[in-house]
């Protein structure tokens, strides 16, 4: 089924309240990806279920020591980061530009100082765990790009394990998932 105004009027866009269903091609795409083994594991939930909760559940069952989790801005959760570190799961999360404010004041100041003195930011900071006084050390990266928006990352990988610019390369590979989804859900 092609995307058109008639379908949008009937189905709308999926909403977190569960009042609107997803377009039929989205359901078809999900079934096709499972059938073709592009999706290794999945969890069926109501449309109002939290993506973050589902992601945590899937990761807990499958990732551990020496695995690498690449994720986007939607999945920022400091308590989850702490549990990933405890489970020895490596991670690289793209984060929003203001997530540095989740760091301690001392770390925020270090980030601001490095912004002034260098083109990019790459340093280990103390990230506050939501709901408590504890912190965890994470590597905070800002990569300025010409004619594009700056990329912001948090990772547990050291500079020896992940070179500065490799973070954007890994993220670009992860982003191919989004473009593949767009292709499958498109009119063709």
Task: Flag whether pLDDT at 55 surpasses 70.
Answer: yes
Task: Flag whether pLDDT at 15 surpasses 70.
Answer: no
Please report the pLDDT score of residue 7 as a whole number. 61
Task: Flag whether pLDDT at 186 surpasses 90.
Answer: no
Give the predicted TM-score (pTM) of the model. Answer: 0.75
Task: Flag whether pLDDT at 18 surpasses 60.
Answer: no
Helices (H), the chain: 5-11, 24-35, 51-62, 78-86, 105-117, 166-185
Structure tokens that stand for 39 in this block: 């999706």
159 phi/psi in degrees, rounded to 5: -65, -30
| C-alpha to C-alpha distances, 92 to 23, 63, 84, 159, nearest whole angstrom | 31, 14, 11, 12
- pLDDT band at 1; cut points 50, 70, 90: very low
- pLDDT band at 68; cut points 50, 70, 90: confident
């Amino acid at each position: 089924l092609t995307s058109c105004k008639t379908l949008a009027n009937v189905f709308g866009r999926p909403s977190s309240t569960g009042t609107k269903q997803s377009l039929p091609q989205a359901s078809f795409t999900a079934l096709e990806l499972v059938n073709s083994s592009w999706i290794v594991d999945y969890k069926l939930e109501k449309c109002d279920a939290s993506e973050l909760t589902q992601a945590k559940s899937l990761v807990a069952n499958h990732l551990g020591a020496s695995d690498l989790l690449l994720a986007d801005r939607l999945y920022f959760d400091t308590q989850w980061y702490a549990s990933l570190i405890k489970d020895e799961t490596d991670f690289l999360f793209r984060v929003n530009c203001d997530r540095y404010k989740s760091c301690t004041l001392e770390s925020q100041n270090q980030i601001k100082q490095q912004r002034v003195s260098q083109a990019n930011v790459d340093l280990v900071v103390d990230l506050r765990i939501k709901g408590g006084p504890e912190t965890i050390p994470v590597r905070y990266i800002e990569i300025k790009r010409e004619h594009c928006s700056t990329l912001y990352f948090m990772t547990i990988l050291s500079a020896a394990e992940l070179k500065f610019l490799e973070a954007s390369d890994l993220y670009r590979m992860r982003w191919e998932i989004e473009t593949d989804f767009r292709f499958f859900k498109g009119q063709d």
